[in-house]
Amino acid sequence: MAKVEIIGMPQSTFVRVVRMTCEEKGVPYDLTAARPHSPEINAVHPFGKVPGMRHGDVELCESKAIATYLDRTFGGPKVIPEDPAQAAQVEQWVSIVNTVVDPTMIRQYLLSYIFPKGADGKPDRKAIEAALPAMQQQFDVLDKAVAGTGYLAGKSYTLADMNLMPILAYLERLPESGEMLKKSKNLSAYFARHAERPSFKNTTPPPPGQ
Ligand SMILES: N[C@@H](CCC(=O)N[C@@H](CS)C(=O)NCC(=O)O)C(=O)O
């Protein structure tokens, strides 16, 4: 069988999700480091976003589609359960994180620090402050969601968790979000526990911008 090629820079949370899927399932893969809108990624994503994937004749983009393909194609533990209701729970949390949490916590907040657009090349405090109330609300929701079982969906580690962990890894390191995570007792215990997984450790990204 052809080897899986994951295309995208390792700092991307979405690239890390598909790499973690490979790691959890024991699927060997090559990572082709490519930035958004580079020729390598434009060849597989109509809007130039990372990640992309090639596997033999199969060419895909979008992290959820790639993870689903990997889960259905390869053996190893299921990252999306077979049971329809449990699978839907996973989809639900992937969707919530990608449509609500990622836009606030990564696009608005984190990127204000990584690509500073304020005066004198400093982070834009206005953009950061503006994100904080929604972030607190989202931390509260996530804290409650993992309180019962220690997982976002069901009673095992799934794509829902893999989709959130790379985001928490960045948030832990920044001042306001780091405080919010620390105060979210269930979520910080969840993060500490799942950060011990080899799939998380083996995909630690280099610092942003490298
Ligand atoms: N829905 C996409 C989102 C991918 C995405 O937004 N990737 C970011 C990097 S983390 C990117 O390529 N950004 C460049 C851009 O939006 O132009 C997925 O799940 O793969």
The DSSP bridge partners found for residue 30 are 5
Give the closest residue (by CA) to ligand 1 atom 10.
12
Q: How far is the CA of 148 from the centre of ligand 1 (A)?
A: 31
**pTM exceeds 0.85 for this model:** yes
Q: How far is the CA of 23 from the centre of ligand 1 (A)?
A: 21
**Residues within 6 Å of ligand 1 by CB:** 12-14, 36, 48-51, 62-64, 98
pLDDT given at position 145: 98
User: Burial of 23 by CB count in 10 Å (0-12 exposed, 13-18 middle, 19+ buried)?
Assistant: buried
pLDDT given at position 100: 98
Q: Which residue has the tokens 């696009």?
A: 107
* 50 close to 7: Cβ distance less than 8 angstroms: yes
pLDDT given at position 209: 65
* Chain segment 46-79, per-residue pLDDT in tens: 999 999 999 999 999 999 999 999 999 999 999 9
pLDDT given at position 106: 97
pLDDT given at position 77: 98
Substitution site in 44, 49, 60 for ligand 1 pocket (most atoms within 8 Å of beta carbon): 49
pLDDT given at position 210: 66
Q: pLDDT below 70 — which residues of the chain? A: 209-210
pLDDT given at position 117: 86
